Amino acid sequence: METAQDTVREAVDWIVLVIESLGAVIIAIGVLIAVVLLIRALAHPTSPGAFTRVRLVLGSYLVLGLEFQLAADVLKTAVAPSFTEIGQLAAIAAIRTLLNYFLTKEMANEKAELEAAGEAMPPLPSPRH
């Protein structure tokens, strides 16, 4: 017989799966957009900052995807039954948080460099292009 705790744990497991999947999809979309921008930059080099813009776009998607992954980790921790699992999740969450922090810091530096060079970040490509 399934207890209320088992039901909650199973529901959270499904929610975590959805959130982790969303994070992965966001990262995959970012990679695809970055590849398109990279191909455009290689085919038509318009400015020295073209590759920096590709990195900034990819970094933005990575940061967003990592935020979703971190949210899933927080939910896992909320229902983790053992100290071992809590420790493992804490380590994973710490690694993702550090990655997110350094990615955000690097992106801010690169964006400042672009602005100092008089180049602005272009908007994300629209589906019409």
Residue 117, φ and ψ in degrees, nearest 5: -85, 0
Averaging pLDDT over each range in 5-9, 49-53, 65-69, which range is the top one? 65-69
- E strands within the chain? none
In a domain, residue 126? The reply is no
Domains of the chain: total: 1
Residue 128 lies in a domain: no
Predicted TM-score (pTM) of the model is 0.77
Domain boundaries, position 37? 8-116
| Per-residue tokens: 61 | 């998607």
Q: Write the CA distances from 100 to 61, 65, 119, 127, integer angstroms.
A: 11, 9, 25, 28
Residue 2 lies in a domain: no
14 in a structural domain: yes
Q: Is 116 exposed, middle or buried (0-12, 13-18, 19+ CB in 10 A)?
A: exposed
Q: Would 124 be classed as within a structural domain?
A: no
Length of the chain: 129
Average pLDDT estimate for 50-68: 90
Cα–Cα distance for residue pair 24/21, rounded to 1 Å:
5
Question: Would 57 be classed as within a structural domain?
Answer: yes
Within a domain: 13: yes
Greatest pairwise CA separation for the chain in angstroms: 66
Cα dist. 77→12, 23, 124 in Å? 10, 18, 35
DSSP state of 125: P
Question: Collapsing DSSP states into helix, strand and coil, what is residue 38?
Answer: helix
In a domain? residue 125:
no
The pLDDT tens digits for 62-117 are 999 999 998 998 888 887 677 888 888 888 888 988 988 998 898 888 888 878 87
